[in-house]
Amino acid sequence: MNAPARDEEIAADDPRRPLDPRDYSRRTLLANERTFLAWWRTGLTSLTVAIAAARVVPELSGSKTTWPYLVLGTVFALLGVLCMVYGEHRRAAVSKAVRRGEFAEVNRAISLIITTTGALLGLATVALILVDP
């Protein structure tokens, strides 16, 4: 494939068109926005599960013991809030890093907290299902 002449107009989708280095930043910032929204979706989903676990399930099941559901729902709610807060923190850090031409490392402590909490919530949910059918 020959390179286009200097005066030749190059279509936007022509593979011979030189890439604009700023385009990577734009794409990364847009991806950062989508990731931020994913953190919010995760947080809102966790809050929805919290309401279901703490209020809806005990009511529908007629369970005599409600405190395990309240504990489970409360932890799901806290996880949801953590996801939304960390999502904003991460969005701001990545945006700042991209504008500087740097990379923002993931906060390993927060990542470990979210992962561990999610795993423990999963195990607690299984235990609650098995113990209080």
- Where do the domains of the chain lie? 25-131
Q: What is the predicted pLDDT for the residue at 63?
A: 84
Decide if pLDDT at 124 tops 90.
Answer: yes
Hey, what are 84's tokens? 């939304």
Q: For position 64, what pLDDT does the model report?
A: 87
Tokens of 38: 């994913």
C-alpha 124/C-alpha 84 separation (Å) is: 22
Q: What is the pTM of this model?
A: 0.77
CB 55 within 8 A of CB 84: no
Please report the pLDDT score of residue 113 as a whole number: 96
Q: Provide the 10 A C-beta neighbour count for residue 74.
A: 13
Stretch 106-110: mean pLDDT? 94
Angstrom distance (rounded) from CA 52 to CA 87: 23
Tokens 């919530």 found at = 121
Q: Find all residues with CB under 8 Å of 32, minimum gap 6, and list them.
A: 91, 94, 95, 98
Cβ atoms 112, 80 nearer than 8 A: no
Share of the chain above pLDDT 90, in %: 64
